[in-house]
Amino acid sequence: MITLSKLAKTFQTRDGQVTAVDHIDLSIEKGEIFGVIGYSGAGKSTLIRLLNMLETPSSGQVTVAGKNMNELSGKGLRQARQEIGMIFQHFNLLWSRTVADNIAFPLEIKGMPKSEQKKRVNELIKLVGLEGRGGSYPSQLSGGQKQRVGIARALANNPQVLLCDEATSALDPKTTDSILDLLVDINKKLNLTIVLITHEMHVIRKICHRVAVMENGRIAEQGPVLDIFKRPKEEMTKEFVKQVTEPEETEEAIRHLFKDDGIGRVLQLTFTGSDAKRSLITDVVRKYDVSVSILQGKISQTQHGSYGSLFVSVTGDNQLIDETIAFIRSQQVEVEVIHGE
Ligand SMILES: Nc1ncnc2c1ncn2[C@@H]1O[C@H](COP(=O)(O)OP(=O)(O)OP(=O)(O)O)[C@@H](O)[C@H]1O
C-alpha cells in the first residue's frame, strides 16, 4: 500500500542544514497497522508528513495506493490525498463548526450534495461512537470525543490509508486506550492501512502489527511487534521495550528487598504466549540444584499474541546457575542477566 524508496528530507535553517529524514526505504502492506517510534527530533513528524506530501521530499520516492506521490500536483495530488486521511495530536478541528459540520467539511470541499453529506456524516458519527453529539461544538467535548471527530472527518472520503500523528499523546491513559481500540476496530472493519507515529511503546504494543524504530532520520530497527519485544537488537529499541516491561523500577525494588542478603543472579526471562504454557520453572528446579524465587511477572497482549516478562532470582553454585541459564535459553526463552555476575 505504501512504499518509500531512498526518501530524504533536508531543511535549510539559519544554523545550516538539518537532515530530518535520511534515505529511508520502507514498505507497508494493505490492512497493516504500522507504528514508527522514536524520541523527539528523530524525524517522525517529517516522515509521516512526507507520505501525503505535506512536506515535499528533497529526494527519493513515495508511492501510496499505487500512485507515485512525487509526480503529482494540483488536481492529481488533491485526488491522491483523498485516499489518505490524517489525524493530529491537537485534533485540528474547526471550533466554530458543530461536530457534524466538522465531519462534513471534506465532503463539502469535494462538492457532495447536502443530502448525501448528511447520510455519510450520520454513518461516520455512528462508526466513531458519537451518536447524539452531532450538534455539539468541539469546546463542549472531551479530548477523546474531539479525537473521535478527527477520526470521523479523516475517514469521510473513504480513504485507504489513515495517518496518525501522535494522535493519543494529548489524552489520558484510559482515553488513549479507548481511541486505540477504535483504531483497531476501524482497521478490521474497513481493512484500512494505518500508519502512526508515537513516542510511547504502549501504543505500539497495543495496536501495531509491525514497528520501525527511528533515530536521527533513519530506521534503526524494524520488525513484527512481538519479535521486537522478544528480541530487541538496538540499544534504543531496548529502551523503548523497557517502557512497557519496567525493569528499572523492578531493579530498584529488588535492590531494596535483598539489601543485606545474597540475591544471587537476577534474570529477566522474556517469552511469547505459547512458551508461557510450559512448566519451565518446575523443569529448572527438577534438573538443577538451584533455588529460584519469582520477583515479578507480567504478561502483555499484542495484536499478534501475548508476550511475558518474568524476573527471577537464582541462587546456588555459580557453575549450576550458568547451566540453568543455558538450559532456559535452549527452551527458546530469552534471558538477560540484570543483576549479579
Ligand atoms: N520546518 C522545519 N524547518 C527546519 N527544521 C525542521 C523543520 N521541521 C523539522 N525540522 C527538524 O528536523 C528534525 C526532525 O524533526 P521532526 O519534527 O520530524 O521529529 P519528531 O521525531 O517528529 O520530533 P517531535 O516529536 O518532537 O516533533 C529536527 O531536528 C527538527 O528540528
pLDDT-based confidence at residue 206 (cuts at 50, 70, 90): very high
Q: Given this model, what pLDDT does residue 249 score?
A: 64
pLDDT mean across residues, the chain: 91
pLDDT in tens, 213-226: 999 999 999 999 99
Helix, strand and coil percent figures for the chain, each rounded to 5: 40, 30, 30
From 102, 123, 94, select the one nearest 186 (Cα to Cα). 123
User: 38: Cβ below 6 Å to ligand 1?
Assistant: yes
> What are the DSSP E strand ranges found in the chain?
2-13, 16-28, 33-37, 59-64, 67-68, 84-88, 161-165, 193-198, 210-215, 218-224, 265-272, 291-302, 305-315, 334-339
- The mean pLDDT of 233-248, rounded to a whole number, is 83
**Which domains does the chain possess?**
2-236 (3.40.50.300), 246-339 (3.30.70.260)
Ligand 1 atom 26 nearest Cα:
40
Average pLDDT of span 61-70 = 93
Q: How much distance in Å is there from the Cα of 43 to the middle of ligand 1?
A: 6
Going by pLDDT thresholds of 50, 70 and 90, the confidence category of residue 246 is low
Pairing of strands 67-68, 2-13: unpaired
Q: How far is the CA of 21 from the centre of ligand 1 (A)?
A: 9
Compute the distance between CA of residue 102 and CA of residue 88 in angstroms, rounded to an integer.
14
| 143-161 pLDDT per residue, tens | 999 999 999 999 999 999 9
Rounded Cα distance between 341 and 338, Å, is 9
pLDDT tier for residue 306 given thresholds of 50, 70 and 90: confident
What does the pLDDT average to over 230-234? 89
- The per-residue pLDDT for range 162-190, each reduced to its tens digit, is 999 999 999 999 999 999 999 999 999 99
Mutate to test the pocket of ligand 1, among 11, 22, 51 (most ligand atoms within 8 A of CB): 11
Nearest CA to ligand 1 atom 10: 20
Q: Which of 48-52, 120-124, 188-192, 250-254 has the lowest mean pLDDT?
A: 250-254
Query: At 268, is the pLDDT very low, low, confident or very high (cuts 50, 70, 90)?
Result: confident
Q: ipTM of the predicted structure?
A: 0.96
55 CA → ligand 1 middle, Å = 11
Going from the Cα of 45 to the center of ligand 1, the distance in angstroms, rounded, reads: 7
| 96-115 confidence digits (pLDDT tens) | 999 999 999 999 998 999 99
Would you say the CB of residue 253 lies under 6 angstroms from ligand 1?
A: no
Name the residue with higher pLDDT: 301 or 138: 138
pLDDT at 231: 86
Q: What is the pLDDT of residue 319?
A: 93
200 to 23, 208, 211: CA distances (angstroms): 24, 12, 12
What cell was used for 239? 529502551
pLDDT for residue 251 is more than 80: no
Over pLDDT 90: what percentage of the chain?
70
Does the pLDDT value for residue 276 go beyond 70?
no
Of the listed ranges 106-120, 175-189, 202-216, 238-252, the one predicted with least confidence: 238-252
Closest residue to atom 24 of ligand 1, CA basis: 40
DSSP sequence for 168-224? TTTS-HHHHHHHHHHHHHHHHHH--EEEEEES-HHHHHHH-SEEEEEETTEEEEEEE
Joined together, the cell numbers standing for residue 59 give 529526494
Q: Identify whether the C-beta of residue 226 lies closer than 8 Å to the C-beta of residue 271.
A: no
